[in-house]
Amino acid sequence: MLVQPAERLRGTVRVPGDKSIAHRALIIGSMAKGKHVVEGAPAGADLYSTVSCLRSLGAFIEEMPDGRLLVLSKEFVSGKHIDAGNSGTTARLLSGLLAGLPGETTIDGDESLRGRPMDRIVEPLSQMGADIATAPGGRLPITIRGGRLKAISHQPPVASAQVKSAILIAGLMAEGITVVEERVPTRDHTERLLAAMAVPVEIDGHKIAIRGGSVPRAAQVKIPGDLSSAAFFVVASVCVPGSELYLPTVGINPTRTGAIRVLQEMGASIELINHASFLEEPIADIVVKSSELRGTTIGHELIPSLIDELPIIAVAATQAEGETTVSGAKELRYKESDRIAAIVGNLKRMGADIEARDDGFVIRGPTRLKGNKVSSLGDHRVAMAMTIAGLLATGQTHIERSDIIGVSYPSFFKDLQTVSG
């Protein structure tokens, strides 16, 4: 993909549905009693991986004429070899489901997913009674022999909503009360969805408790727009002079809005209007205008609420006056790529004053970026971040492997062209 600098961005962007919520709505819906309907699920390879895996395990999932997904609970079938593709959410959350199912099932994924750590779910699910084997280094493929589970109390050493969710899903099938205690709160879509589906969930500070034997009740789930996808357009509108964008019906779950708060602290003109909620999830429309930015400090306490947005925040920081420091974000090194190395290397090639740290980076701005050849390294969020960087740069920016964006946002370039044309 070749990206040209943008003069300004104007118009409305309807971002895809939140895939974090959609994954959970499908997986928990496949365990539910009754007819479960998911509206607004995003297109893209990541969510298709979850659909495909659930179908392989025996769930009934069908797209209705109006685009909604119908999910009917059926008896799960083990003894399968399922492919999670590029989706860590699929692999980790389905591990929680498989831990409670009799029989043996193997989860595999693509080369990128095979490089991501799975041992963080192996320990708690093994403590609950599952028999789990991984490839060397705690990687995929992972083979799970499930069975009768017992409740545990677990404090994840790494802040991870996927680990928490895997344990809670397994906890639905465990004997006793399963407790997850987080050191730092992570996105809470699983807890909210379980509560909306009539599962008793007790929350006491950073402790989340769920009683085994609870059966979710099917629901009509409407997926809000994905804030992580919206963040790319928010930063583009803030950084391209004369821009103004309207993004309707975006999820603003407080465990996900760290990027919005940080950008506002940096001076961005971002307004949330028309507040609403659906099945425990808060929603709003976002109005964003071009603004002058200043540097900021982002520490470990904020990281879980903006971990996926850090690549695009780095792009915004190149346009901010002063220094921006990110620390406590070592988890970025274990995403679809080493995102610290990817974003630092790419932005350096475009002339940014940026240096890597073990758990983050430091950026000094503002800098007028220069178009260059950069690579997504097979990471959809890096590809989208560098596309926005290309809008701010002089000359052309050539993004290698830009097609990876299709795993989460297939219409990204089309939507961008609509508001910049």
Do 407 and 270 share a structural domain? yes
Give the CATH number, domain containing residue 36.
Answer: 3.65.10.10
Do 309 and 336 share a structural domain? yes
Q: Which domain holds residue 76?
A: 19-222
Do 347 and 213 share a structural domain? no
Mean pLDDT of the chain: 95
Catalytic choice (308, 338, 379, 415):
308
Do 314 and 172 share a structural domain? no
pTM of the model: 0.94
Residue pair 99/131 in contact by the 8 Å Cβ criterion: no
Q: Which residue, of 188, 204, 222, is where some domain finishes?
A: 222
% of the chain at pLDDT higher than 90 = 93
Do 257 and 386 share a structural domain? yes
- Chain centroid offset of residue 10 CA: 26
pLDDT at residue 270, rounded to an integer: 98
| Residues 210-262: tens digit of each pLDDT | 999 999 999 999 999 999 999 999 999 999 999 999 999 999 999 999 999 99
Do 358 and 282 share a structural domain? yes
Do 202 and 145 share a structural domain? yes
Do 371 and 231 share a structural domain? yes
Do 242 and 143 share a structural domain? no
Q: Which residue, of 158, 193, 222, is where some domain finishes?
A: 222
Q: Which residue, of 161, 191, 222, is where some domain finishes?
A: 222
Lowest mean pLDDT: which of 121-135, 230-244, 324-338? 324-338
Do 206 and 79 share a structural domain? yes
pLDDT at residue 335, rounded to an integer: 84
Catalytic annotation on 358? no
Half-sphere CA count of 338, side-chain side, radius 13 A = 10
Do 277 and 150 share a structural domain? no
Q: Does the bond joining 5 to the residue before it have cis omega, within 30 degrees of 0?
A: no
383-407-416 Cα angle (round to 5): 55
Residue 132: phi and psi, rounded to 5, are: -130, 135
pLDDT tier at 193 (50, 70, 90 boundaries)?
very high
pLDDT at residue 365, rounded to an integer: 93
| Residues 89-127: tens digit of each pLDDT | 999 999 999 999 999 999 999 998 999 899 999 999 999
Single-letter code of the amino acid located at 329: A
Do 264 and 149 share a structural domain? no
Our count of domains for the chain comes to: 2
